[in-house]
């Protein structure tokens, strides 16, 4: 009976740890290459999604946006 209580406490602790643990870090997505843009609007939308997801910094976003708009 004591082992069942100990196991239940251990399971509860694991669930608590899992609930309060920070999410796993996101893999840093590489910045899109400066390839000729066939669809500048679509490329800008993808960049914005990466910015919103935290995969790009504002400076990286701005640099890539300028490359797309100047193409």
pLDDT, tens digit (0-9, with 9 covering 90-100), for 37-52: 489 999 999 999 999 9
Mean pLDDT of 47-70: 95
Q: According to the model, what pLDDT value does residue 56 have?
A: 95
C-alpha to C-alpha distance for 12 and 8, rounded to whole angstroms: 6
| Helices 58-70 and 40-53, packing angle to 10 deg | 180
Angle at 36 between CA 35 and CA 37, to 5 degrees: 105
Higher pLDDT, 29 or 65: 65
Q: Tally the C-alpha atoms within 13 A of residue 58's C-alpha that lie toward its C-beta.
A: 0
pTM over 0.85: no
């Amino acid at each position: 009976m004591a082992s069942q209580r100990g196991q239940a406490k251990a399971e509860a602790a694991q669930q608590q740890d899992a609930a309060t643990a920070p999410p796993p870090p996101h893999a840093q997505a590489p910045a899109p290459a400066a390839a000729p843009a066939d669809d500048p609007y679509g490329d800008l939308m993808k960049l914005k999604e990466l910015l919103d997801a935290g995969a790009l910094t504002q400076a990286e976003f701005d640099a890539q946006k300028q490359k797309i708009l100047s193409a």
